[in-house]
Amino acid sequence: MKFYLEFFMIFFKIGLFTLGGGYAMIPLIKEQIVDKKKWMEEIEFIDVLGVAQSCPGALAVNVSVFVGWKLRKCIGILVAVLGTVLPSFIIILIIAIFFKNLENNALFISVFKGIKPAIVALIIAPAIGMGQALKLKPQKWIISIIIGVVIAFTEISPILFIVGSMILGNILSREKGREI
């Protein structure tokens, strides 16, 4: 029981103190699980990270599923995932309840008038950063922009593009799997 509580608290703390989503949580998970508790080797953790990134869903949740399974199978998964999710769940719930009563508040409206265009820039910036990091060629930028426009302005589901590009990646790639 003491183990489960400790295990839960580690993930709860990670969930509670990481701003900015999944990627920000990874170094903290590694610090606790690999460096401090030594529940897992570093090599194994890196392997897990690779798989977790390629799986659907939130990265932090995927990693906690794996760590939970490794340490205590199904109950481990439950404890780790609950620990990761619960802080966001509680905080957002409080904000949602609070927001309901604030929607017509003048100050609140002004604040969000300023924040909204900033959010659009906050979303575009990582897309540009990712493209630069991957050294995307101009024709691929055009493909990305077209996909973006289609998703934003038509009813075509993103699922189609996700599944389609995974299949195309296999059909079009040359031997080394570098191209496309």
Partner 1 sequence: MIYWELFSTFFKIGLFSFGGGYAMLSMIEQEIVRNHSWITIGQFTDIIAVSQITPGPIAINSATYIGYITTNSILGSICSTIGVVLPSIIVMSILIKFIKMFKESKYVEKAFIGLRPTVIGLILGAAFSLMKPDIFIDYYSYIIFLGVLIAILKYKVGVVKIIIVSAILGILLY
Task: Please report, as residue ranges, which positions from 125 to 164 form the binding site for partner 1 (by CB under 8 A).
Answer: 125-131, 134, 136, 140, 143-153, 155, 157-159, 161-162, 164
DSSP string covering 41-94: -HHHHHHHHHHHHHSSS-HHHHHHHHHHHHHHHHHHHHHHHHHHHHHHHHHHHH
Query: Does 105 participate in binding partner 1 (rule CB under 8 A)?
Result: no
Among 96, 101, 104, 138, binds partner 1 (CB under 8 A): 96
Query: Does 9 participate in binding partner 1 (rule CB under 8 A)?
Result: no
Among 7, 10, 11, 15, binds partner 1 (CB under 8 A): 15
Give the range of 3-11, 31-39, 60-68 binding partner 1 by CB under 8 A: 60-68
C-beta of 2 vs 23, nearer to partner 1: 23
Report whether 31 contacts 59 (CB < 8 A).
Answer: no
CA distance 36 to 147: 44
Among 75, 97, 104, 105, binds partner 1 (CB under 8 A): 97
CA distance 56 to 144: 20
CA distance 66 to 82: 13
DSSP label at residue 134: T
C-beta of 33 vs 59, nearer to partner 1: 59
The CB density around residue 31, as the number of other CB atoms within 10 Å, is 12
Q: Mask 63-92, x = binds partner 1 (CB under 8 A)?
A: --xx--xx------x---x--xx-xxx-xx
Among 2, 101, 121, 138, binds partner 1 (CB under 8 A): 121
